[in-house]
Structure 1
Amino acid sequence: MRLPAPPYHFATRVTALDARPGVLEPARITTEYDVPEDAWYAVDGGVPPAVTVEAGQCDLLLVSFLGIDFRNKGDRVYRLLDSSLIFHGGLPRTGQTLRYDISIDRFVHQGDTTVFFFSYLCYADGELILELKDGCAGFFSQAELDTPLGIVMTDAERARRAALHRATFKPLARARKDRLDAADLELLAQGRPGDVFGPDHAQDPGLNPALRLPDSMLRMIDEVTVDRTGGPRGLGKISAVKHLEPDAWYFTCHFPDDPVLAGSLIAEGAVQLLQVYLLHQGMHLTLPDARFQTVTDRRIDVKVRGQVTPRNSEIRYELEITELTLLPRPTVVADVLVYLGDRPVVRMENLGLQIVEKPGTPYRPETGGVPAFLGRRNRSGEPAMINELHLAHAAQGLLDMAMGPEFEIYRESRAPYIPNGDFQFVDRVMSLTGTRGDLNPGSEMVTEYDSPDDAWYYQENSSPYMPNFVYMESSLQAAIFLGYYLGATLSRPEEQYRIRNLDGRATLIRDIDLRDKTIRHHSKLLSTSIVSGAVLQNFSYELSADGEVFYTGESLFGYFSDAALANQVGLDSGTYREPWIVTERPAAERVRRIELPDDAPAFTDPSGGALRLPAGRFHLVDRVDLVEDGGRHGAGYLHGYRSIRPDEWYFDRHFHRDPVMPGSLGVEAVLQAMRLFVLDQNLADGMERPRFAMATGVEMAWKYRGQILRDDDELFFDVHIKEVRREADRLLVIADADLWKTGLRIYELTDVAIEVRPESD
């Protein structure tokens, strides 16, 4: 029984020992390791997880002291079977002393085979940073080692994997390369992600010197393949290979006369793959001086059911990403399988890694809201004022992280948030012209949103173009952030406000293909009014891409107390205004009901054309009653209905701690009914390769005086077609619409419009 030899020997001294030599019984040992200032494995002064774990290696010394060699008589070798790791603090730094309080808790003997169970606590300069629990190792003959079973997945593990739900994550920068070779990994070790993944991944010289792979001696991966949307959650899958050399240092030092690849080094390869993935996703762009850090207070379960020896030419990693988030810091969590050939021999569950700012590094806006440069530039090279990390907190995290220390007052109370997840359509704040606390007209903010070409709203829309609600939400979210950032609610910290859109009008100037484009918002505060229980703010905004303005509008928002929202009376002063189909009672033969169940295929052009209704998360209407000559204008009428479920997808995204159906999705439901009218009436007959589009040059106006909540049972709406206009290059349909919740009319839309136009090449 031997300790590893240098350079993988990490024990400096034994400071305590509670054990009886020659007796295999519970015992304790305390050891220390002085991390050299010039440690060969360090990255920017940081100690990697492999060394942090491996420096607790003196369970081997303890079991040797207890006399295991007298039982094994040289015929058996040590192998790790199981362990669970929990990191409680930051990874160590060079110059620190690591202390390990190691316990052997019990022994089990089965014939000549001995298995023991152990644990340890690791302290860095007296601070607990790591706990190893439920460690299990044994001593095995060559015959036993030659017949490994490999990792066998249990029913519980299969059930856990099957229960994983698919999710999405938008990379902060889209990588241009998904297959990495040894040269690419060397560039990442030099801190040059822009040379590997593309210029959007590059940062200014001198930023983030610690966010790199270790040098080649410790590197445990040689070839890497990334599937960004693979795995059971759709958050990513990583495959990698490490080519092994039989006389390499990692065999000759571990162990003398018994070469086997250390489990901590195998785990280090998985950690390095998570480092690669964080860089691949552009997570490093959010901070100017950060380091990789294992996720704390999360149990990592490790099983080893095979040995890697000099007879093996390579090991293969398969990682499935189970979590990917910016909160509270850029984080990735994965399940890992390590293969010898086709046999899995190592499994790690819940292995997590973060990017965390170094102590003293700027990481959020300062007082007043305008920070020093935080490391993020946009595609054009302009410095961002605050970035995706801060906007993620503005959507679902600490508001002071997003906007500065003045917002710490909201850490213990509810406050407004912008929408989150895949319903968040603002990524960065580029500039602010204004002063926090000054709510007078004239303040301006420039923000950006990157619209990926594979976004769900392109894939699930009726054509691969941006739908109306994204135009609305992106512009409204940008405008509302300006007012909130200026401090619209800061003067009344005792109030727990909710935010609501009240009125607006917007015009699409030009319908352009925005896939893989950056949308730039320019928002301007027009007015602020403070009244009892509410703060009202009006904004103008324009959206542009590649310097061209394509969408303009103006909108009124309100921050309301609970008491103010409790007294809503809708659009009709509390009276109930009935839908047209109820008041007019058209003859039954004039009314045709069209059912649109969840499990039905999207409604398509009955003439066999390319027009169709959107599906997936766009399914917002259960049925429509259609009267082709009905409505206020006699040009067509649709009465739509949707039952509301408390688990509707949008409630969790809009807003955090204040779930409400977005008004823009109510508008989207109306637009779907209008598309259905076009299909049903075959209005696009004769148009070559028609597609649905947003209507250009028509100003839509809206009023909201209520909201759909989780406990509402239904919504229904009226659409009154008032014009069907055929022009040389388009079919234009314009309508007015109203939307109700039970007992209350809450939305009014004027000149809501759609187009059908020929698809361009």
Structure 2
Amino acid sequence: MINRIVNLEPQGGRFGLGLIQAEADIDPQAWFLTCHFVDDMVMPGTLMYECCAHTLRVFLQRLGWVTEKSGVYYEPVAGVESTLKCRGPVTPRTRKVIYEIEISKIGYKPEPYAIADAHMYADGHRIVYFKDMSLQMTGVTRNEIESVWKINQGQSSTKTAESKRPAIFDRSHMLEFAEGQPSLAFGERYNSFDKDRFIARLPRPPYLFIDRITKAEPKPWILTPDGWIEAEFDIDPNAWYFRADRNPAAPLSILLEIALQPCGWLAAYMGSALRSQKDLKFRNLGGNATIHNEVLPDAGTLAIKTCLTNVSEAADMIIEYFDFEVRAQTREIYTGNAYFGFFTHDALIQQEGIRDAVKEVYAPASEEILPGVAHEFADIVPLQPQDTASDQTPALAMPAKAIRMIDRIETFIPDGGPMGLGFIRATKVVDPQEWFFRAHFYQDPVCPGSLGIESFIQMLKFIAHQRWPHLIENHRFGLLTAESHVWTYRGQILPQNRLITAEAVINELQDNPTPRIKADGYLQVDGLYIYKMENFGVTLVPL
């Protein structure tokens, strides 16, 4: 009952645990129609369920859940209550059905099991919803499955398989830290944070970019510079951020998160939350980094090394400094340093913004603004990270709604700015229901600073469209490499804020041999300057 698999994302779906989509072509003379019923031919609901279950099996087998052991079989997980809603039929007139499965839980107890939500579509109309559909492999354990792959170790030629090392903390630990019980992520010293106290978290999916920790030199619960940790993240070629950015290279915001999230994990591993009797929130304050190579869909597994280099404590405030390195096998991807702070809620709400920003920012005169270019962006699919629709044209494309961080170009002055190379200002209305507030973070919704930087990059992409329209069909966007960039954060964007404004002044503009734009700028929320960006840029890459 499955003709083809059209999409499979190991970290996809609403829960970040996996997504698979399959299709089947409906023959009007199919046996399940002609026998059910003779004068009212419709596909049996039980068979609809079975088709979704078959699709889930394919996903699990693709994960490597296979065995040569006899007597192993699939069955529902005992005790899991499922809900079925049917709102339409499959009839002889139906041409194609789609099964869409989103994994909500996956693990071992000790049998491998998965729980998922399933949707079924008939010719584009959603007709069936299964909530908490469950499946387990009875008769086999995790160790027995992993032994199959150990026997065949070394035969895989994929980049991901070559680079993976045994995990000392796996994806399940990352998810517990992101939205579950911190004690299950790190140990019983964090028991009080399971229910009674707040703890700073990793982002939830789809903004969680650590799959495992493979090495930890520092001792747990001791907050002092003491060696490196090593994390890994598997690049999914079909990941939502490639579709959303409409570009075959990972956006800078994603690269930033891949580099910085292990810093947050290490801070928790060293027991930072235990240093105060008050609940502390964790915020990035700034950093300095260099991109060496882009992350393309075939990058495989990225390895991230992170170490704490310095720590300073005063009352209920902790400032921690980190170095980081991101690599893809032997290729250097991204290196730099960053610093973070732990603050009380009261300290954060007293944000004062970037000091002296009002004196430093470029303010165009009214006569400059009047002839400037303004533009309102249309909402292009995907609209949300979990959306599977995509629009890849043109080649030099502006981002889709799922990751677009500017709604409108208020003004673009091609000869504006201190150097006469250009000035641009864009705005975004804050929507408290946006996906990133839920993802970043659990119990502490705040817009990721990386997405603020993404708004800056997107303004530069708009300028590129204006300056090089003849290259739109045969170039793509790239990030500047081999040049350091600096970011400074002195405030936060919360769901109750109203308006984000980003501004950039162009300090380098090159047409040949490779088109490129480099700029400095600021971001403000409700009139307060809170981010400063220096030496960020984009380039055009020929196809």
Shorter-chain TM band: 0.7 to 0.9
**Contact persistence 1:322–1:335 (CA under 8 A):** yes
The amino acid of 1:480's aligned partner reads: G
Deviation per CA, 1:284-335: give whole Å up to 9, x if none: 99xxxxx9872646355699xxxxxxxxxxxxxx995554124787632356
Q: CA RMSD in A?
A: 4.2
2:461 matched residue in structure 1: 675
2:479 matched residue in structure 1: 694
* 1:740 and 2:524 are equivalent in the alignment: yes
SS, match of residue 540 in structure 1: strand
Which of 334, 345, 352 matches 1:562?
345
**Contact persistence 1:301–1:350 (CA under 8 A):** no
**Take 2:343 and 2:477, find their aligned partners in 1: how far apart are those partners?**
37
**Contact persistence 2:503–2:523 (CA under 8 A):** yes
* 1:441 and 2:220 are equivalent in the alignment: no
**Take 2:301 and 2:129, find their aligned partners in 1: how far apart are those partners?**
41
**Contact persistence 1:169–1:325 (CA under 8 A):** no
Structure 1: runs of 5 or more not aligned: 1-167, 175-227, 241-262, 286-290, 304-317, 338-345, 362-375, 603-607
Map 1:195-234; keep pairs closer than 5 Å: none
* 1:591 and 2:372 are equivalent in the alignment: yes
SS, match of residue 501 in structure 1: strand
* 1:635 and 2:421 are equivalent in the alignment: yes
Map 1:8-407; keep pairs closer than 5 Å: 170-171=9-10, 235-237=20-22, 277-281=59-63, 294=77, 296=79, 298-300=81-83, 320=99, 323-326=102-105, 331-333=114-116, 350-353=132-135, 379-380=161-162, 382-407=165-190
2:492 matched residue in structure 1: 707
2:300 matched residue in structure 1: 517
**What TM-score do the two structures reach when normalised by structure 2?**
0.74
**Take 2:474 and 2:177, find their aligned partners in 1: how far apart are those partners?**
42
**Contact persistence 2:106–2:115 (CA under 8 A):** no
* 1:619 and 2:404 are equivalent in the alignment: yes
Structure 1 position 586, deviation (Å): 3.4
2:93 matched residue in structure 1: none
**Take 1:513 and 1:546, find their aligned partners in 2: how far apart are those partners?**
13
**Take 2:307 and 2:489, find their aligned partners in 1: how far apart are those partners?**
21
**Contact persistence 1:523–1:541 (CA under 8 A):** yes
**Take 2:297 and 2:60, find their aligned partners in 1: how far apart are those partners?**
26
* 1:731 and 2:518 are equivalent in the alignment: no
Which of 532, 541, 544 matches 2:315?
532
The amino acid of 2:366's aligned partner reads: R
**Contact persistence 1:687–1:758 (CA under 8 A):** no
SS, match of residue 527 in structure 1: strand
Query: Aligned pair in 2 of structure 1 residues 691, 301: CA closer, same or farther (>3 Å)?
Result: closer
* 1:411 and 2:197 are equivalent in the alignment: no
**Number of residue pairs aligned between Structure 1 and Structure 2:** 464
**Take 1:742 and 1:688, find their aligned partners in 2: how far apart are those partners?**
37
Deviation per CA, 1:507-560: give whole Å up to 9, x if none: 111235343511110111111112222221111111111222121010001121
SS, match of residue 541 in structure 1: strand
Structure 1 position 599, deviation (Å): 5.9
**Contact persistence 1:535–1:560 (CA under 8 A):** yes
The amino acid of 1:351's aligned partner reads: M
**Take 1:753 and 1:395, find their aligned partners in 2: how far apart are those partners?**
31
Deviation per CA, 1:119-162: give whole Å up to 9, x if none: xxxxxxxxxxxxxxxxxxxxxxxxxxxxxxxxxxxxxxxxxxxx
**What TM-score do the two structures reach when normalised by structure 1?**
0.54
**Take 2:474 and 2:49, find their aligned partners in 1: how far apart are those partners?**
54
SS, match of residue 515 in structure 2: strand
2:354 matched residue in structure 1: 571
Structure 1 position 579, deviation (Å): 5.9
Structure 1 position 348, deviation (Å): 7.6
Deviation per CA, 1:81-114: give whole Å up to 9, x if none: xxxxxxxxxxxxxxxxxxxxxxxxxxxxxxxxxx
Query: Aligned pair in 2 of structure 1 residues 641, 170: CA closer, same or farther (>3 Å)?
Result: same
**Contact persistence 1:652–1:659 (CA under 8 A):** yes
The amino acid of 1:540's aligned partner reads: D
Query: Aligned pair in 2 of structure 1 residues 609, 449: CA closer, same or farther (>3 Å)?
Result: closer
Query: Aligned pair in 2 of structure 1 residues 704, 356: CA closer, same or farther (>3 Å)?
Result: farther
The amino acid of 2:208's aligned partner reads: Q
Query: Aligned pair in 2 of structure 1 residues 579, 647: CA closer, same or farther (>3 Å)?
Result: farther
SS, match of residue 421 in structure 1: coil
The amino acid of 1:505's aligned partner reads: N
Identity %: 25
Deviates more, 1:400-409 or 1:470-479: 400-409
Q: Which has the higher contact order (CA 8 A, sep 6+)?
A: 2
